[in-house]
Structure 1
Amino acid sequence: MSLIKEVILQFFFVLIPFVMFNIYCRDKMRNFSRSFILFTSSISLFLAMTFASSVIDGVIFDTRYVIMFFGLVYGGIQTGLILLGEFVIYRLYLGGEGSIVAMLIAVFSFVVSLLMYRSYKTTHRKTIFTISAGMVFSIVALTLTYFYFPHYFVENLTYHFLVIPLQNSLGIWILMSLFSKSVSDKEIFIKHAQNEKIETMSHVAASLAHEVRNPLTAVKGFLRLMQENPTDLTKNAQYMNICMDEIQRTEMILSEYLAISKPLTNRYEPVNVAEMLKVMRAVMSPFAILHNVELEVRTPETSVTIMANPDEIKQVLVNFIKNAIEACANVRKGRVFLSLMVEEGKAILVIKDNGVGMDEGQMKRLGSIYFSTKSSGTGLGLTYSYHVIHTFGGTVTVNSKPNVGTKFSITFPYQE
């Protein structure tokens, strides 16, 4: 039973590079590096030799050849030589009468590994190849052990003909197969992510070109009319106002694209939402008056503090209030009402309007990139706002009915 435990432990040490790859490289947009292979293989080799299986003191067997072959295949010759040097130094430190034989076995096995590792990369029958490599390492080890310690070898035939080949062949097959599969999956993931990034960039570029082309076409047309009739000052003044509006719309579109592409910061600090809402009421009131909409804000007497980036929260509030006002622009007695409250340890901001409202299909798509209920909108404002709110642990719920109005409820983690 003790021998079985030692063999299982060797298998565990062999799998250290595979396990660490899946932990360390899981969320990274790059595959393994030579330094990673060297580092993980060195740890694996050290532990395998430290807790090696042994029948008598001084003669130890472990998965060192498996680990060195793995380092050679994925880290190159330099990595393989460093691992060989680590083995020699540590084996001399461990000592015992089997140390000289171990050096000879290591040299022969390393030469065999050099001859085999290039073939491994080109062969299509990697399973058969790896198991065969494990058997070759076992044969080299057993042959030299028998030559130097015949008595010891004959007395422990079962151990040498069963445990050692199993340890090497199964160990090398498990490690190489699992690591190869993980590397292949990572390459597919990286390629997919890159393709997705290119596709997204193409989508953004096409969308941006479409959004900007419309106002530019209008500006171009009116400038041509002004060029044809330079003496008609009244019409030219009207055309100039339209051009200025279109240029302003172009600036707004570009600002929204820049906002959504700008990475969110990790700067969090206490933000008094109640105080910020009062400031936003003053900032957005002229916009509300321009659209004949009444803007009302109700906040608690005490401060309501959350942990967030104040600049990002301010932009979120601007986006929601602006959308609510625009939804009421063509409604008789348009009204936008904001209320802030604290319930069950959470700050809840309600933004309610009596505007055009939305149907079920529109509500489900809110926050999706490039979706907007406005004919001239890009949808990027709400996409950015949803992303910011979710980043610092908030939630957004919406209730709406066509021609009745919309109610947004934004929940913030409340800071006592």
Structure 2
Amino acid sequence: MNVIKDFLLQLALSAIPMFTYQPFFEERGKQGWREKAVMAALWCLAVMLCMTFPAHFGEGYRLDVRVVPLVLGTLYGGPTTGLFLAVFTVGYRLAGGFDPGFYNTLGALLTAFPVVLGNVRRFQAADKAKRIRLGASLTLLYAFVGLLWFQVLNGGELGTLPVQGLHLLFVTVVGGLLTAFYEHLREIRRLRSEMLEAEKFRAIRDLTGIFAHEIRNPMQVVRGFLQLLDDPALPPRKKEFIQLSIEELDRANETINELLDFGKPAGGDNEEVEAGFQLQRVANLLHSYAELRSVTIHTERDADCWIRANPRKLSQCLVNILKNAVESMPEGGSIRAACSAEGDSRVLLTIEDQGVGMTREQLDRLGSPFYSLKESGTGLGMTVSFQIIRSLGGKVRVTSERGKGTRFAISFPKSDR
């Protein structure tokens, strides 16, 4: 019973990072270096506490679940956090001296930890179900390797196998349970954020639909009278003023059209569309625009990338993203636009540029109404694009690094054509 009680204590200790980080940092949506440092420190605290209060059994033998915060901290925090945790684990265990337990810790790290590091990208790119399976299986693998090292260093202590078997089972369950718990919390946060965004968009759509029509009507009247006043006999200075006025009215009208597009539902009139063809068509349309800015667009497309979409809306979405990619490279560069099958059920469109990139704060606000990184931008183009993607059942993932460029990965359900 004491062993079970100790294991339950270990469970509570290994869950400290999630229960602490979630309400104070994850809920605020911040992911800067300070938040990552705090998360790494919390994982280290969990490792230290698990090692400080182990489960005792047999003649001086101890077991703990340090493997859970070590593995999950690496998977969620990335390779840098993982290496920091590994060094901390070895250093803290070294305080107990060069006994078999230290060599057991070192052997397990050298043998199993590279496997965990090799699965970080796979874990971070996976969906919820795959993450839970990976979290549990990598925790089991690490703990099993530690058990093998224990048997080797202690000359095959078969009498300890029942307790070690319980330890393996417990570690696997805890690894999967904590991964599922953390993923569930993140999903709740995402759904709440989407609900707030939907409410905000609904209110903005109602307002923009009303005001856009009321503003555009008198503007069209003013533009018509300005055209009537544009007489060849007028002095050049006055003709210039009239022309500038008409151009500014046209620019304002474009903004109003974006407002109207924002107010319209993005779905409807969907049909079978070859996504690669649409991407190639948009790239061809923007070819001259890109050349004027010393930008080249390279396209790649696989066959059989059919989706259900409104062709006009899909083109509008791709034009917005590609045009932004061109404008993000004031010194010129190249853009890679590709369409490929993502398994048997989805189609992936990727657009990568070599532009100025974005900070984490800018990425978090990307797609918000009226938020733009361009001086003359309204911020509605990207908002409408994100709406179109969502209405087609798509998912968009944007990654960016300041000074190195931005990558859009847009995934759509594949059509059963």
- TM bracket, shorter-chain basis: 0.3 to 0.5
TM-score using structure 1 length: 0.46
